Amino acid sequence: MFARLVPLLGVVAAALPVARTQTLLFPNFNSTTGLQLNSVSAPSGGILTLADTGRDRGAVFTTAQYSVAQFSALFEFVIANPSGSTDSTGINGADGIAFVIQSDARGAGALGSFKEGLGYGGINNSLAIEFDTFKNDANSETANDPNSNHVGINLGGSVNSALTATIGTRLDNGQKWTAWVDYNGSVMELRMSQDGIRPSEATLSYSIDTTALAAALGGATQAYLGFSAATGSATADHQLLSFVFSDTYLANGIAAVPEPSTYALLALGLGLAGLGVWRRRG
């Protein structure tokens, strides 16, 4: 396959000398090169556990910043073994995971608050997508949770979500979730499934143009990318399995975590042509 690719890559490189796509490719976390782990243990079996024991929190961020003027991302996670105290709906297990885009002063070292903060609360100059498994009540907590199983868009380190959507299947059912986040410069969409197939319908669709996103990031057009999680007296195991990011928006999203035969090419930074091949094979 490589031999067939070389002429194609040459053509693209000549035609698009400044259009090299930045990609991040973690099909697992056997290597964490390029990532900073904040209160997160070294990976085990290629998995990063962001938070597990009671009153825990953790975050992982890229050590470099990436353009977020448009992008497509895919990641896989598991939330397992919910336990501990129950929320007002009688559900235990907490608190959830967040995908975080941030330009906080702490950079890659940013780590947010425990419990309903999801390890994200207080990370300023940011946008996050939360996967929230515990209902915090507005009259006693800082979060405006509609229920104990939802996703949301969070801004500025606040877990008072700008937009939420309820998820029918428990997020903490111990099964793998695949999530796709696609941003075309005007709308950010989240899709998710447990069969690895990207749904046509978005779970969340949030209008935010590049000016508004830059404002949320404190004026930055580049950001650190990562994930956080936290627990309280209710807990669960929050595991991150993979992360793929392209700073080019792909209308059909990233099909899947690429196979080893294609991601070696991507890791070399071969850009658009590599992505094209990867998508056709995905």
Residues of this chain that interact with Ca ion (CB under 5 A) are 116, 132, 134, 136, 143, 145, 152
Compute and round to an integer the Cα radius of gyration of the chain: 18
Report the chain's terminal Cα–Cα distance, integer Å: 15
Smallest distance, Å, CB 161 to Ca ion? 5
Is 126 or 136 the residue whose CB approaches Ca ion more closely?
136
CB of 23: closest distance to Ca ion in angstroms? 30
Cα separation, 120 vs 57, in Å, equals 9
Angle between helices 2-15 and 272-281 (to 10 degrees): 140
Supply the minimum distance, in Å, between the C-beta of residue 187 and Ca ion. Answer: 21
Q: Looking at beta carbons, which residue is closest to Ca ion?
A: 132
Q: Which residues contact 170 (CB under 8 A, 6 or more apart)?
A: 133, 149
Least distance CB 115 / Ca ion (angstroms): 8
DSSP classification of residue 219:
T
Rounded to an integer, what distance in angstroms lies between the CA atom of residue 143 and that of residue 164? 12
C-alpha 13/C-alpha 50 separation (Å) is 39
Q: What phi and psi, each to the nearest 5 degrees, are found at residue 7?
A: -60, -40
Nearer to Ca ion by Cβ, of 103 and 136: the residue is: 136
136 vs 231, beta carbon nearer Ca ion = 136
Smallest gap from residue 134 Cβ to Ca ion (A): 4
Nearer to Ca ion, 12 or 143 (CB): 143
Least CB distance from residue 260 to Ca ion, whole Å? Answer: 36
Name the residue nearer to Ca ion (CB basis): 125 or 231.
Answer: 231
Render 153-188 in DSSP notation, one character per residue: EEETT--S-SEEEE-SS-TTSSS-EEEEEEE-SSEE
Nearest CB to Ca ion, comparing residues 51 and 143: 143
Residue count of the chain: 282
Q: Which is nearer to Ca ion, 33 or 139 (CB)?
A: 139
How far is residue 222 from each of residues 45, 48, 73, 101, 193, measured CA to CA in Å? 31, 24, 15, 9, 28
Question: What are residue 66's DSSP bridge partners?
Answer: 223
Closest by Cα among 240, 251, 243 to 276: 251
Q: Which is nearer to Ca ion, 76 or 145 (CB)?
A: 145
Smallest separation, CB 224 to Ca ion (Å): 22
Q: Smallest distance, Å, CB 272 to Ca ion?
A: 37
